Amino acid sequence: MKTKIIRVSPESIETDYEVLIEPATALRNGELVAFPTETVYGIGANSLLDNSVRKIFEVKGRPQDNPLIVHLHSKDVIRKYAIISNEVEEGIISKFMPGPITVVLKSCGVVSSVVTAGLDTVGIRIPYNIIAQKLLELACVPVSAPSANLSGKPSATDPVSVIEEFRGKIPYIIDGGRTHIGIESTVVLVKEESDRFKILILRPGFITKEDLEGFVSENKFSKPVFVEYSENFSSERPISPGQKYKHYSPKSKVVLLNDKSKLDEFFKVVGNGRIGILGKFDFINDLELYLINLGFKDILKVEWCGNDLLECARNLFLYYRFFDREGVEFLFVENLGNSGIAYSIMNRVKKSASYVL
Ligand code: TXA
Ligand code: MG
């Protein structure tokens, strides 16, 4: 298949939007189109057509029981596809959308059941990236879009990565430069109980638990509202099926390093391939010294700008892909901490890790 690569710049899209008419029409007619969002690149299909959505699972090699997010261009159309059941869902939509959040709502049954993997809920997202918005507006249909990577691999946050993995497999790739946020949207689900609401964070992201707590405290609701992480890795039937699969993994084996005293044991059992280090300045220096003492010579270091966590998020998957190209066998990653966006970044690192020390 010949892939048409369409370059667009977010700055000029208002006047150049004609270039999106052809891919938008193809999308509506059932073809796959890769496009940038503010989080990561997505591979889009018309959510109303079973066969179109099935193609996504095929090109990505994605497990069929993992539902897809439905992307819309405006809040006004949410009710065509989903039911907003309570004041908390309503509030989240009005505060955070458009933006890097996905809200799991009761489905109206309009989108294909291939999208929802047979669940009675549907994840709704309205990206704020202007190219994504224009494409969705022109396509005039809801668009299911998982991250544009082969299943299990790091998400693509730049056009080169999308082109590498999907050229020849899908008819259109829209190149809109690097994505701003770099990790996927926060996925939330609101549960109403008799005496309270719970906002469950099914996947942490750029919009953090702290942001959601701030939102709760700014508003008056008829019952108390609690915000909780709900990342159940082991459950047989997790609420968000994507939680049970290993994700985001580069070819290099990721080692999340919390405790350096465990390194001696570690190196007794693993060989001495090329080592990568991703961390802040002190972490890199300490670990490098330790490795040199053990006799390692081939060490590739990338300094993570630890003071700027947004930059860390933005670069994580790009660095993963860089270490892969460099043939790194073990990639040691520093733990950036447990609050705010660091929690979301470390969620990706943990899910990609072969070892946690
Ligand atoms: O930032 C993003 O969300 C990107 C861009 C392209 O928009 N998309 C993305 O899609 O990350 P994907 O398919 O890689 O991840 C979707 C996640 C999965 O963890 C899936 O299990 C969960 O959302 N999900 C989707 N629909 C759901 C539903 N009805 N109930 C529970 N979880 C759902
Ligand atoms: Mg993904």
Beta strands 101-107 and 197-203 are unpaired
Residue nearest to atom 17 of ligand 1 (CA): 242
Distance 122 CA to ligand 1 centre (A): 10
- Cα–Cα nearest to 172, from 1, 3, 2: 3
| pLDDT value of position 43 | 97
Phi, psi of 7 (to 5 degrees): -90, 130
How many whole angstroms separate alpha carbon 301 and alpha carbon 323? Answer: 9
Q: What's the burial of 158, exposed, middle or buried (CB within 10 Å: 0-12/13-18/19+)?
A: buried
For 110-114, what is the mean pLDDT? 93
Q: Could you give the maximum distance between any two Cα atoms of the chain, in Å?
A: 63
214-263 confidence digits (pLDDT tens): 999 999 999 999 999 986 543 334 455 544 456 777 788 899 998 888 88
What angle, rounded to 10 degrees, do the helices at 130-139 and 21-28 form?
50
How many whole angstroms separate alpha carbon 199 and alpha carbon 120? Answer: 18
Using most ligand atoms within 8 A of CB, pick from 187, 189, 247, 249 the residue to mutate for ligand 1.
187
Q: 162 vs 12, 73, 124, 174, 178, CA distance in Å?
A: 22, 22, 23, 9, 11
Question: What pTM does this model have?
Answer: 0.93
Confidence class of residue 211 from pLDDT cuts 50, 70 and 90?
Answer: very high
133-185 confidence digits (pLDDT tens): 999 999 999 999 999 999 888 999 999 999 999 999 999 999 999 999 999 99
Residue nearest to atom 27 of ligand 1 (CA): 123
pLDDT of residue 188 exceeding 50, the answer is: yes
316-335 confidence digits (pLDDT tens): 999 999 999 999 999 999 99
Q: Give, for 259, the enclosing helix (H) or strand (E).
A: none
| pLDDT value of position 237 | 43
Looking at residue 204, its amino acid is P
For 104-130, what is the mean pLDDT? 95
**Contact between 100 and 38 (Cβ < 8 Å):** yes
| pLDDT value of position 232 | 56
How many whole angstroms separate alpha carbon 250 and alpha carbon 144? Answer: 25
Residue 6, number of CB atoms within 10 A of its CB:
16
User: Which letter, b or e, does each residue of 44-76 get, where b requires 16 or more Cβ atoms within 10 Å of its Cβ?
Assistant: bbbbbbeebbebbbebbebeeebbbbbbbbeee
E-only strand ranges, 73-114: 82-83, 101-107
For 270-292, what is the mean pLDDT? 90
Q: What is the DSSP string of 167-219?
A: TTTSSEEEE--S-SS-SPPEEEEEEE-SS-EEEEEEE--SS-HHHHHHHHHHS
Looking at residue 118, its amino acid is G
Q: What's the burial of 257, exposed, middle or buried (CB within 10 Å: 0-12/13-18/19+)?
A: buried
Phi, psi of 24 (to 5 degrees): -65, -40
Distance 124 CA to ligand 1 centre (A): 9
> Which atom of ligand 1 has the smallest separation from the CA of 239?
31
Q: Is the dihedral of CA 168, 185, 246, 285 positive or negative?
A: positive
Distance 142 CA to ligand 1 centre (A): 14
Q: Is the dihedral of CA 336, 342, 343, 348 positive or negative?
A: negative
| pLDDT value of position 259 | 83
Residue nearest to atom 18 of ligand 1 (CA): 242
How many whole angstroms separate alpha carbon 154 and alpha carbon 132? Answer: 21
In this structure, the residues whose C-beta lies within 6 A of any atom of ligand 1 are 37, 39-40, 42, 66-69, 102, 104, 116, 119, 121-123, 125, 145-147, 184-185, 187, 202-203, 239-242
- Cα–Cα nearest to 268, from 297, 294, 290: 294
Closest ligand to C-alpha of residue 186 is 1
